[in-house]
Amino acid sequence: MNLFRTTNLESRLSRRESQRPAVSKRNSRGNVARMSLALAVALTWLAALPGQYSNAQDAQVTRPNPIAPSAIASSDPSTPARPASYRNAAKPTGSWMAITHIYQGDHPAPVDTHHVVYENGSYYDFSDDESQPWTIFDLPSSRVILLDRKRQLRTSVPTKDLIQLAARAEAEITDPTDRGRYGMDAVPSRTSDGQFSVSYADTVYRVTGIRPEMPGLAVEYGRFVDWACRLNVARPRGVPPFARMKLNAVMTSAKLLPAETAVTLTRHIGADRTPAKIRLRSTTTIDRQLTDAMTQRINDAKSMRVLFQEIPWDQYEH
């Protein structure tokens, strides 16, 4: 399973539908530059965790989009630092796809399924849930594109903005209590050859890893998870992704793929803050051959990228 994928389910526990803003034709890159939101906006999101939910399934928390364009370094100040293997994959692997099923509690049927397709240096994240966007991590062009299939809209953000936002959080959140709450100083552990875990505050991750035939595939998959977590910093939903980034870096360095991930979230319900546990699980398998259906989805995503109307980043969310 992949560490990023759990956030999509977590977001359902903390997302509220609201009226979408009117569409604007302003240039999205210029709009991102105008979004001079301080890190305090991100802290507003972080401070809302964990929420006091009257029902774990009906969490009502709205969080802003803290894209902060001001750079704090010209290099790649990863949070945490990406392992050298990210930049020096042994051998190209060619195209492949990862199929992730997400489960909640003991329900036998998945609540969502994602296909992550790697082709020519780009990652395509396809959710089977019509309400979720398709995402293109176009690393050769240094952009991440979100495609809203229902509204037929698209938006994008430069990858450097995602790097800068994560770096700002790392640099400006210095209080030990806050860093503990957000998992920024969490230390992953390897309990056995293929077992990993990380815990902080009221969140525990346990991952079972497998070693692929091609070490480069683990590196490529780890790179996807890293960028997906960075996108989750810019689209605040669920829990902060910092601990997941650290755990992913450890697994990528070990050249292992996550096969299954179990996540336990403790949330407090009602005025008396009664603790309640939310259990999420996901499984991931890798297929070296793209199906005709996935090839068609790639072609559809490329068409949507051209045909859908582009709107500024801050107007995409609701």
For the stretch 257-274, pLDDT in tens is 999 999 998 888 888 888
Beta bridge partners of 136: 124, 145
Indicate the pLDDT class of residue 92, thresholds 50, 70 and 90: low
Closest CA to 222 of 188, 190, 249, 184: 249
Indicate the pLDDT class of residue 300, thresholds 50, 70 and 90: very high
Mean pLDDT of 115-132: 94
Mean pLDDT of 56-74: 34
Work out the percent of the chain whose per-residue pLDDT is above 90: 52
Rounded alpha-carbon distances, angstroms, from residue 153 to 23, 81, 115, 296, 317: 9, 34, 21, 20, 11
Tell me, what's the pLDDT at 73? Answer: 33
Tell me, what's the pLDDT at 82? Answer: 52
CA gap 91, 106 in Å, rounded: 39
Indicate the pLDDT class of residue 113, thresholds 50, 70 and 90: very high
The position carrying tokens 């964990």 is 50
Tell me, what's the pLDDT at 251? Answer: 93
Closest CA to 9 of 285, 205, 316, 282: 282
Closest CA to 183 of 155, 166, 207, 202: 202
The position carrying tokens 């980034």 is 245
Q: Give residue 77's Cα distance to chain centre.
A: 18
Among 56-70, 75-89, 146-160, 258-272, the range with the most confident prediction by mean pLDDT is: 146-160
Peptide bond into 312 cis (omega under 30): no
Beta bridge partners of 241: none
pTM here is 0.75
Counted residue by residue, the chain has a size of 318
Closest CA to 94 of 254, 206, 203, 213: 213
Neighbours of 79 (CB within 10 A): 23
